[in-house]
Amino acid sequence: MAAEHGFNASTFTARVITSTRSDIASAIVGAIGALKGPLHWIADAFERGERLMGFGHRVYRAYDPRAAALREVALKMGSIAEWLSLAVAVEDIALRMLEERYPDRPLKTNVEYYTAAVLQGVGLPADLFPATFAMARTAGWTAHVLEQASVDKLIRPDVRYTGPAERSLPAT
């Protein structure tokens, strides 16, 4: 997105560092650092036509309430403070860029985004995240399969929640 507005963060960073009369190695290292920043990553994902994982949901057109609940849990976990600060900053940038890019199509944070933060906070190795995501969804997937099998045709599963009313999270 930055490139679309004639702004290249890595080139700008190299020029700023050079303007301080610093050496070329420092300028190049600074430019490399700008390339890995979250703003650059998000812009590159858009340019490649990729979806941002953790953003957008076919049901929720506002901020996913499950993401809000997990964000609250993650923020209370002191063990991932530095990583979580980065995740919150990336979320803010991504939401702003999604709004600019798709003003008529609300794409907000979904449950996957903060699930990873909570799993990291409880010490689960990252290579187990996909399996954990899958386990958490198995009951829902099963319900969808059973619903579709009962009518013997391709359907969009009914997602009307009929369980207990909203309740607060227990204090940690």
pTM of the model: 0.56
| Angle in degrees, CA 109, 128, 48, rounded to 5 | 45
53, 106 in Cβ contact below 8 A?
no
120, 126 in Cβ contact below 8 A?
yes
**CB within 8 A of 88, min separation 6: which ones?**
71
Active site annotation includes 40 = no
Tell me, what DSSP letter sits at residue 171?
Answer: P
Helix (H, G, I), strand (E, B) or coil at 109: strand
pLDDT digit of tens for each residue in the chain (172 aa)?
333 333 345 556 766 777 777 777 777 777 777 655 665 677 777 788 777 777 877 666 778 888 889 988 888 887 667 778 888 888 898 899 888 888 988 888 888 788 888 888 888 998 888 788 777 877 777 776 777 677 766 666 556 777 788 888 787 6
Among candidate residues 145, 131, 157, the one with its CA nearest the CA of residue 58? 157
Q: Which of 57, 72, 99, 100 is catalytic?
A: 57
Distance between CA 130 and CA 132 in Å, rounded? 5
Q: Which of 112, 144, 147, 166 is catalytic?
A: 112
28, 73 in Cβ contact below 8 A?
no
* Cα end-to-end span (Å), the chain: 40
